[in-house]
Amino acid sequence: MSEFKSLSKYFHLDEYDKNYVFIVPNYQRGFKWSVKAIDKGKDSAVEKLLKDLLVAFTDAFTNNNEEDFFLQGITVVNKLTTKDGIEENQIILIDGQQRTTTLYFLLWCLDFEKLNEIKLRYDVREESKQFIANLNNGFDIDVNKKDSQDIFYFKQAIIQIKGVIANSILNDIKLRNKFINFILEKVLIIYIEIPEVKATKTFTMMNGSKASMLPEELAKAELLRRISISSSSNEESNIETYILRNRYAREWDKWLYWWNREDVKDYFDVVNPLGILLDFYLWTSSSKETTGFSFNEFTSLLNKESDNGTKIIFKKLRDLQKSFEDIFEDPVVHNYLKLSLICSKDSTDKFKIIEFYILNKSNKSSVIKAYTNYRLIGINHALIIEESQLPEQDNLFKTEAELILDDLSSDFVYNVFNDHAFKQLLRLNVEEDNKLKRKFDFSIWKNKSLEHIFPKSKFFNQSGDIYYNSENEILEFDNLRKEGLIDRGDFFNNGSEHCIGNLLLLYNKENSVFGAKSFSEKKNIYFDIHDIQRGSIFKSRHLLHTISVFSKEKWGVKEIQENKELFITRFKKDYNLKDIGNV
């Protein structure tokens, strides 16, 4: 059954005594209309709807245009319930949650005096339900507060609506009241009512045809739909099914919230709403040939299971989610895994790495550490897992480690073996955090730079009677020592300004802050926490290995050579090479 309804009739503002309640059911996805488009300058769906309404209202007000404004259809289930002797007319939103919630927020922002006659309730997400229920008691504008996903986007919607209102004709209170009347009487929707037994199936079918409905969201809807199909008409069984469905919906939303944390997204390098949870589950459940999520494959897995297939798959997803959270929250495993993920070649390799860490998360001091070290020198996953005694390297591993060490022992590492230097200096910094059982801040990896401790511009070399700096510019002899320059010949073919002994890992912006400053000047910048310009934002101070080098009293040829030898000795020890000496 379908009919046209004005928003006044849709919200039942003339039937307040009949206790109408709009219900957002548990299989619905979260509120998303306030999400900004990826392209800069594009409006969210909330802003677009409000601006379209304003254009239509302005046309009606200035040109006496009596035409109605039509919104898309809204599909509902009407259900009469009685609890504790109180009847409740439930309008269950199958398709129309985003529009209904947005219109509710719009009326709230317009100070609509009858807003308390409109009851909107989110069925499963308790925080969302409370936010809507308490809206008239004051709006918490603290955008820095960590909220659940729904609450965050609720707030964004209100902020966006207020922003549009502030820059429109609605600042005039008389026009605002006319706008409210226009919305309620001239905005029409197609109201589609369906039987309750078809609700979840209709939701899946309707949303499955939308480009905005992601496969992950369809998976949730399908799981909850199957749980909702009770094999018995027994009331007790139906209650158990309802409780189970609600619990599944809440768990799913918790997973969604976790994967949408910025630290989690950055760590796993994901953008999908559920990260790689579903992708990884399909990969482990199939031939391990595909790393993308497919709704059709997911439903095929559901169909292959027994009568309890939905429960079985949900338990597997729950266990997998717990494994992801475990490896992310354990500082040492977290740090080693990220080092290995940095070395992954593609999505398949990434999944193999994650699977290895999930299976070996309790062996962090031996198996996981060795695996990480091997990945950092380029040994692939297949070769590592074929080695029966992982901590004891075979000749292949030693040969590869010796080749990397030869490169890093070179007098000229900078701009020749940068990749090796970056990975090994990162590893040394991470290992210091592991000693403290502290999660390492890997944001440096996308903003990394190699810093010359003693500036490369402060070295010179001699050719006959002519002296050149590192840029091959001719220098005056009298200015060489006066300007604190170092003769590259003083290294006696054991190092240079570009060797590993004179290189450190820093954030690239902070590398530019140092510039060509002397060691003492750089050291002062690095440790001066009271520096008004840089004191609170100099991120490189969390790099403990870098700190240990900057803590030296002075820096010259001798210190560079000693630091190079320390690096080589440490590398030999960590990779079980011969003649490791003492560290």
Tens of pLDDT, residues 271-281: 888 899 999 99
Mean pLDDT across 76-90: 85
Half-sphere exposure at residue 80, Cβ-oriented, CA atoms within 13 angstroms: 3
Mean pLDDT across 314-319: 94
Surface-to-core class of residue 103, CB atoms within 10 Å of its CB (0-12 exposed, 13-18 middle, 19+ buried): buried
User: How many whole angstroms separate alpha carbon 565 and alpha carbon 273?
Assistant: 47
Provide the pLDDT confidence category of residue 210 given band limits of 50, 70 and 90: very low
User: How many whole angstroms separate alpha carbon 29 and alpha carbon 204?
Assistant: 11
Higher pLDDT, 211 or 332: 332
Among the ranges given (157-161, 403-407, 516-520), the one the predictor scored with the smallest mean pLDDT: 516-520
Mean pLDDT across 475-494: 75
- pLDDT value of residue 582: 44
Higher pLDDT, 380 or 219: 380
Give backbone dihedrals phi and psi of 75, rounded to 5 degrees, phi first.
-100, 130
Arithmetic mean of pLDDT over the chain: 83
Residue 41 predicted with pLDDT over 60: yes
Residue 55 predicted with pLDDT over 60: yes
Residue 530 predicted with pLDDT over 80: no
Surface-to-core class of residue 413, CB atoms within 10 Å of its CB (0-12 exposed, 13-18 middle, 19+ buried): buried
User: How many whole angstroms separate alpha carbon 360 and alpha carbon 64?
Assistant: 73
Mean pLDDT across 18-37: 82
Provide the pLDDT confidence category of residue 477 given band limits of 50, 70 and 90: low
Across the beta sheet with 474-475, the strand order is: 474-475, 466-469, 459-463, 486-487
Provide the pLDDT confidence category of residue 429 given band limits of 50, 70 and 90: very high
- pLDDT value of residue 144: 62
Largest pairwise CA distance in the chain: 105
User: How many whole angstroms separate alpha carbon 266 and alpha carbon 216?
Assistant: 20
Among the ranges given (201-205, 298-302, 533-537), the one the predictor scored with the smallest mean pLDDT: 533-537
Surface-to-core class of residue 583, CB atoms within 10 Å of its CB (0-12 exposed, 13-18 middle, 19+ buried): exposed
- pLDDT value of residue 201: 60
Give backbone dihedrals phi and psi of 519, rounded to 5 degrees, phi first.
-60, -45
> Identity (one letter) of the amino acid at 555?
W
Question: What HEC string does 196-229 produce?
Answer: HHHHHHHHHHHHHCCCCCCHHHHHHHHHHHHHHC
Model pLDDT for residues 489-527, shown as the tens digit of each residue: 889 989 999 999 999 999 987 777 787 888 888 888 888
Strand locations in 84-137 (E): 86-95, 120-122
- Residue 555 to residues 43, 497, 549: CA-CA distances in angstroms? 55, 12, 9
Closest by alpha carbon to 384, among 335, 392, 405, 422?
392
User: How many whole angstroms separate alpha carbon 34 and alpha carbon 389?
Assistant: 53
Provide the pLDDT confidence category of residue 143 given band limits of 50, 70 and 90: low
DSSP 352-367: HHHHHHHHTTT-IIII
Mean pLDDT across 88-114: 91
Residue 308 predicted with pLDDT over 90: no
Local structure of 10: helix, strand or coil: helix
Higher pLDDT, 232 or 411: 411
The dihedral through the CA atoms of 264, 268, 269, 275 has a sign that is negative
Closest by alpha carbon to 223, among 168, 180, 274?
274
Mean pLDDT across 252-257: 88
Neighbours of 5 (CB within 10 A): 16
Residue 16 predicted with pLDDT over 70: no
- pLDDT value of residue 231: 45
- pLDDT value of residue 478: 61
Provide the pLDDT confidence category of residue 434 given band limits of 50, 70 and 90: very high
Closest by alpha carbon to 467, among 486, 452, 454?
486
> Identity (one letter) of the amino acid at 196?
E
Surface-to-core class of residue 400, CB atoms within 10 Å of its CB (0-12 exposed, 13-18 middle, 19+ buried): middle
- pLDDT value of residue 209: 44
Higher pLDDT, 227 or 424: 424
The dihedral through the CA atoms of 148, 150, 153, 154 has a sign that is negative
